[in-house]
Structure 1
Amino acid sequence: MRKHKIAFELEVYDSRKELSEEDASLMKQALIARENAYAPYSNFFVGAAVLLENGEVVCGNNQENASYPSGLCAERVAIFHAGANFPNVKIKAVAITAASKNIKVENPVAPCGNCRQSIKEYEVKQDAPISLLLMGESGAVYKCSSVADILPLGFDSSYLG
């Protein structure tokens, strides 16, 4: 038996003020999207903004349902909207921010497993990485160069033959 450690690097910014103009603008769009989230059950509000290669920004927010599994996360709402409306345009980046009515979300929030897998699918489709900007309510922002960084040993179509 051998052990193998998988690790990754990310950039840590103390606030949005340290981001590039493009990244700060994208996070601002995610913050606006977060304000329109429909989260009456979890009280956990998430906004996502997707930057496309053509400069378009597509936003999404979480949409809950009394039948809990029927809802969708903000990331998938935005990614799927981009894929449906701009099918041949590469995705450059996704900014994600979250807040709660119940607690103060002080740390950057990463996408759930389903969202990671969905973003990974688009990375494979476009054969290019998608950077992630992650933030809580405010404060620090993490930047990953690819969703593959936070989804090690990810599953993709190469396993399907």
Structure 2
Amino acid sequence: MASELNIQICIDVLDSAEELNQQERDAMLLAQETANDAYAPYSNFLVGAALVLEDDTMFKGSNQENAAYPSGLCAERTALFAMSAYYPNKKIKLIAVTARRRSEQHFLPAMPCGACRQVMAEYEHKQEEPIPVLLQGPEGKFYRLRSVSDLLPFQFNREHL
């Protein structure tokens, strides 16, 4: 007889930036500023990511496109890979992600792609503790997730190899 597996994911929906704590505000502001630096001449979709490390160092990344698609890289992976190159043993306290269209000033909901979710999950697994994720939501809202595993409940990691 088949059984059922229920997965419950709790996401805090914050109505405005005023509901963010100071560190979250700073990280989201850095992600928004970094989106402006994206190299996105083909999609015109500007994505910024910011990481807060255990010592409160902040690291950023923006999407980087390439005419030889799919040679580009998303903002989340740009930030994570660069951070790991400079600070390979530091833990991540928070990941913030936002996006906007080049032709517009307001920010849009930003949901990491599958590849970014997998990479984020790898770093969470590596540090053996949850990494909270803050995402730009619709209409000025924000989504706060307690862990990357809330974005990717069935993760593939080194234990599956």
TM bucket by the smaller chain? Answer: over 0.9
Deviation (angstroms), 1:106: 6.7
What is the TM-score normalised by the length of structure 1? 0.93
2:93 corresponds in structure 1 to 92
2:57 corresponds in structure 1 to 56
Query: In the TM superposition, what whole-angstrom CA distance separates every residue of 1:92-118 from its partner, at most 9, and x where no partner exists?
Result: 111000111478977532211100110
Checking the alignment, whether the CA contact within 8 Å between 2:98 and 2:107 is kept in structure 1 is no
Matched AA of 1:47: G
Q: Are 1:151 and 2:155 an aligned pair? A: no
Partner SS, residue 76 of structure 1: helix
Deviation (angstroms), 1:7: 2.6
Q: Distance in 2 between matches of 1:136 and 1:98?
A: 10
After superposition, where does 1:1-161 map in structure 2 within 5 Å?
A: 1-101=2-102, 108-136=109-137, 139-160=140-161
Deviation (angstroms), 1:13: 0.6
Q: Distance in 2 between matches of 1:37 and 1:68?
A: 16
Deviation (angstroms), 1:76: 0.3
Partner SS, residue 70 of structure 2: helix
Identical-pair percentage: 46
Query: In the TM superposition, what whole-angstrom CA distance separates every residue of 1:19-42 from its partner, at most 9, and x where no partner exists?
Result: 001100110000110010011111
Q: Distance in 2 between matches of 1:106 and 1:78?
A: 19
Count of aligned pairs: 160
Matched AA of 2:31: A
Deviation (angstroms), 1:54: 1.0
Matched AA of 1:88: N
Partner SS, residue 47 of structure 1: strand
Q: CA distance change for structure 1 residues 11 and 32 in 2, over 3 Å: closer, same or farther?
A: same
Q: Distance in 2 between matches of 1:131 and 1:116?
A: 13
Q: Distance in 2 between matches of 1:38 and 1:157?
A: 32
Is there any run of 5+ residues in structure 1 with no aligned partner, and where?
Answer: none
Q: CA distance change for structure 1 residues 151 and 105 in 2, over 3 Å: closer, same or farther?
A: farther
Q: Distance in 2 between matches of 1:157 and 1:137?
A: 35
What is the TM-score normalised by the length of structure 2? 0.93
More divergent stretch after superposition (56-65 vs 99-108): 99-108
